[in-house]
Structure 1
Amino acid sequence: MSLYKRFASLLLLLSLSLSAAALDLNQAMSALGNAKASGQLGEMPNGYLGVVKPEGQAAEIARLINQARRAEYQKLASQNGIALSDVEAIAGQKAIDKTPAGHYIQVQGKWLRK
C-alpha cells in the first residue's frame, strides 16, 4: 500500500471516530443533569454554564448548551427591545435560584456548592 493510501485511510478513520465522539444539542441536554450532579458544570450569573471540573465531555456540553441559550437570549432581547446583557443577567439569576442544593453556582467568580 502506498504512503498516500495509508495516509488517506488514516484520515478517514480519524474523521469517523471524531464525528462519533462529537455531541449534538439533544445529547448535550440529556447529559446536562448528570454533568451538573457530578460537579462538572455549574450555573453562572451571566446566564451560561461554566465548567467546574474539566472532565469527560463537560466543555462540549457547556459549549452546545451555551450556544443554544445565547440564541434564545438574543431572540428574547430583540422581541422585547432590551439589551442582551439584561436578558443574560435575568436568566442567570433565575438559573441560580433554581439550582438544587449540592450543585455548583458561580458567586463573585468562585465556584460554590449551593
Structure 2
Amino acid sequence: MRRLIQLSAFIMALAITLPALAMGLDEAKQKLDGFKQQGLIGETPTGYLDVVKAGGDASAVVQAINNARRAEYTRIAEKHSISVTQVETVAGQKAIEKTPSGQFVLMNGKWVRK
C-alpha cells in the first residue's frame, strides 16, 4: 500500500512537471534563428527541422516548431484534398531553398552547410 501511495505521488508530480518542461511555440520561434546560425538546428527535405548538433534547448525548439508545422501541413492538405506528405515535400524544398548560406540543410542523408 505504501508503495502504491509513493507511485501515485510520483505520477502526480510528473503530470504537473511535464507541461512546464515543454517549450511554447513563441519561445521556440525566438530561439530558432540563433540556433540555426549556431549550427544546432537545420532544415530537412521532409519539411521539418532536426537537431544537427545537440546543445541548449535545440531539441525542445525542434519539437515545438515541428508540432506547429505538422498542424499547418495537415490543415493545408485537408483544405486542398492532398496528402500531408505532398505538403511536407513542397515545404521541405522551399525551406531548403530559403535557408541562408552558412546554415545547415540535410542533403542525401548528410548535414551540409549551405
The AA in structure 1 aligned to 2:112 is L
Q: Tell me the amino acid that sits aligned with residue 82 of structure 1.
A: I
Distance in 2 between residues matched to 1:23 and 1:87, nearest whole Å: 25
4+ long deviations beyond 2 Å: none
Q: CA deviation at 1:23?
A: 2.0
Aligned counterpart, 1:106: 106
Deviation by residue 1:8-47 (Cα, 9 ceiling, x = unmatched): 8xx97xx67x83x542110000100001000000000000
- Between the two proteins, the alignment pairs up a number of residues equal to 101
Give unpaired runs (5+ residues) of structure 2: 1-8
Aligned-pair identity (%) = 45
Amino acid at match of 2:96: I
Segments of structure 1 that go 5 or more residues without pairing to the other structure are 1-7
Q: CA RMSD in A?
A: 1.7
Residue identity matched to 2:60: E
SS in structure 2 of the partner of residue 31 of structure 1: helix
Shift of 1:112: 0.3
TM-score of the pair, normalised by structure 1: 0.82
Q: Output the TM-score relative to the length of structure 2.
A: 0.82
The separation in 2 between residues aligned to 1:23 and 1:34, in whole angstroms, is 16
